[in-house]
Structure formats: structure tokens, C-alpha cells
Amino acid sequence: MDVITAIKTRRSIRSFKPTPVEKEKVNELLKLAMCAPSAGNQQPWHFIVVDDTGIKNKIADMHPYAKMLYDAPLGIIVLADTTLEKYKGYWVQDCSAAIMNILTGAPALNLQTVWCGIYPTEERVKEFKDFFDLPDNIIPLGLVIVGYSDKKGFEVDRFKPERIHYNKF
């Protein structure tokens, strides 16, 4: 799949088969995530791959929008390490770029995804920090649920020329 098609057909898929995702594919998604740009090339990310049923179910219980994790084979939690920041506060952009690389690359591996936000909802951040016993410098940004699905992305025209401005607003 070419990158333009991947971007145009990326959709949040919320229905998954319980079929396990091969470790090679998980590693490829993580390699794609780590190809993301980051401020000062600091790469402030860490990842928790969750494929244990008990942990997946607990996350699905905690997160109001991650119920599909009950059926999906795995989730990837993208975390920021604020001690790796060269430019304070840019970890949100850096880790979001890593998530986008996972979302965009997954269909080329015949996988589907959905991004469930954690940060900036304070209570959700606290729940994840407490559950995973994360140190103060590690902040969970988002959860990407990954798996095989009968559903696929499709192209939607979201182009809005009225939102484009040249040289001034």
C-alpha cells in the first residue's frame, strides 16, 4: 500500500477478531513508530505492548472508549519520558507523530487500529500511571488498539478549501 492511499483510507476500526498479531508485525509497527520526527531528535517515547488478556480487560474497564480491547489481540500504550525532552512540552507532538506512524503503517500489514486518547484527561492519566506503576517522568499519551478485522478503511473527502489561508488568516 502506498503512503497516500494509507493516509487517505486510515479509519478508526473498533471491531476486531481475537486472532493474535505476529510478533514480527508488532515489531514492525514499533519500528515505524520510532521513525517519527521528534523535537531535537530526542525520541522521548516508550511503548508498552499489552497482549495479556487480564491486563487488556483491566484497560478496557478503565478507559471508557477502549471497550474493543476486550476482543482485540493487543494494545500499544505510547508513553512520553519527560527527562528525554530537549524542548519542554514537545513530547505531545513527538509521541503523536509516533502514534500516527503506527496508524498509517498498520494497513500495509493487514492490520487495523484505533487510537484511544489518555492524555490530557487527568483522571485517565492517573489511572494508567497507577495501574502500570509509572514513574513521575513517564506520561501515557495514548493507547493504540491493533488487530485483524473484517472492516477496512475507506476514503472520505475531508478537503475544505475554505480552511486554507495563504500568508495571512
The strand pairing partners of 147, in sequence order, are 112
What pLDDT tens digit does each residue of the chain (169 aa) get? 889 999 999 999 999 999 999 999 999 999 999 999 999 999 999 999 999 999 999 999 999 999 999 999 999 999 999 999 999 999 999 999 999 999 999 999 999 999 999 999 999 999 999 999 999 999 999 999 999 999 999 888 999 999 999 999 9
Residue position matching grid coordinates 489561508: 165
pTM: 0.96
| All structural domains of the chain with their residue ranges | 15-153
Task: Please give the pLDDT value at position 116.
Answer: 98
- Per CATH, is 15-153 categorized as 3.90.1300.10? no
Three-state SS for the chain is CCHHHHHHHCCECCCCCCCCCCHHHHHHHHHHHCCCCCHHHCCCEEEEEECCHHHHHHHHHHCCCCHHHHCCCEEEEEEEEHHHCCCCCCHHHHHHHHHHHHHHHHHHHCCEEEEEECCCCHHHHHHHHHHCCCCCCEEEEEEEEEECCCCCCCCCCCCCHHHCCCCCC
What is the structure's pLDDT at 50? Answer: 98
